[in-house]
Amino acid sequence: MDRKHFLRGAAGAVLALAAGFAQGADAWPSRPIRMIVPLAPGGGTDVAARVVAQYLGEALGQPIIIDNRVGANGVVGINEAARAAPDGYTFVIGSSTTLAANKFLYKSAASMDPFKEFAPLAILGTIDFALMVPASSNYHTVKDLVAAAKAAPGKLSYGYGTSAALLCGEMFNGVAGVDIMKVAYKGSPQSLTDLAADRVQLVCDPLGTSMGLIKAGKLRPLAITSKNRNKLDLNVPTMAEAGLPMEHETWAGFFVPAGVPKEIVQRYSTEIVKIMSRPDVQQKIFETGFVPKQVGAEEFGAIHRRDYVRMEELIKSAGIALE
């Protein structure tokens, strides 16, 4: 074979190979996609994730399979997602706790580098938390709770089923100058059930997913931890209105393992932002306790980096020890 024929054959092979890669990329997705939810079924994040999964599956033409990987306050699920093949067939719902605060809260997450292990896709929304007590409680205001906790240090307890709830409880201890003992649960639903039964005296959890028990007359919200009152219950004051300068707002969003092709990342981001722009989806997301957002990959990445630094400063200033 002469040089001309060799070069022509080699060029043809390269073009065929490139076309094959392009065809493979265009064919994505060609099978079901797994969404890892590192929290218990039934919580606000899980419910909201399932709403998005339904519409995203329709947009991509493939079913989204929910995989609840629960354990270690989200660390188990996040680690599972980080180990997944970067082929676009696994993504995870992360948050400002599981992909930021956890690194400074738990030894099991201390080696995590979320910016090297994941790529952001889009934000789901932000979450307003509420400080809640059993409906049968004698505490009708935040001041009542603080007074009781100061009168009996270490006697009251708060439950938490997520890192965000733990962070909220410890922030409250620090800001109020009290010592309310923490009790760990597998997830938010379990902590709220025990709160309604008066097995613990306090839980700080998303207002949206607590509304069922609040409306049923089993829980009493004392205050919310956002800057403004929440439309779900405008009668609940903010922490600032209740007399304590404390704010605790988190976000949740979607990520893929690092290394997923850019065109797949962009497709995910575009489709999720479109879904989050739909009024019917926004209403469903709002009912889970989230304030829905339309934020794509690039802006989301900047928010993640900003809040990673903020969480580190917040946890260290609150004196929360690594567990």
Q: Report how far residue 28's alpha carbon sits from residue 261's, in angstroms, rounded to the nearest whole number.
A: 11
Q: What is the pLDDT of residues 305-320, one digit of tens each?
A: 999 998 898 788 777 7
Q: What's the topology of domain 32-126+250-317?
A: D-Maltodextrin-Binding Protein; domain 2 (3.40.190)
Residue (of 100, 103, 79, 98) closest to 90 by Cα position: 79
Rg of the chain (C-alpha set): 23
Q: What is the dihedral of CA 190, 196, 200, 205, to 10 degrees?
A: 60
Does 144 score more than 80 pLDDT? Answer: yes
Q: Please state, rounded to an integer, the average pLDDT across all residues of the chain.
A: 90
Spatial contact of 127 and 225, defined as CB atoms under 8 Å apart? no
Does 259 score more than 80 pLDDT? Answer: yes
Q: What is the pLDDT of residue 18?
A: 44
Q: Report how far residue 183's alpha carbon sits from residue 162's, in angstroms, rounded to the nearest whole number.
A: 11
**Which residue type, as a one-letter code, is found at position 109?**
A
Residue limits of CATH 3.40.190.10 in the chain: 128-224
- Token pair of 20 as six digits: 């094959």
Span 124-135, average pLDDT: 94
Could you list the beta-strand ranges (E) of the chain: 33-37, 64-68, 90-95, 118-134, 157-160, 181-184, 202-206, 219-224, 249-257, 290-292
Span 234-239, average pLDDT: 94
Residue (of 140, 174, 163, 151) closest to 43 by Cα position: 163
Question: CATH assignment of 128-224?
Answer: 3.40.190.10
Residue limits of CATH 3.40.190.150 in the chain: 32-126+250-317
Q: What is the pLDDT of residues 29-39, one digit of tens each?
A: 999 999 999 98
- The distance from CA 252 to its chain's CA centroid, rounded to whole angstroms, is 4
DSSP conformational letter for 108: G
pTM of the model: 0.74
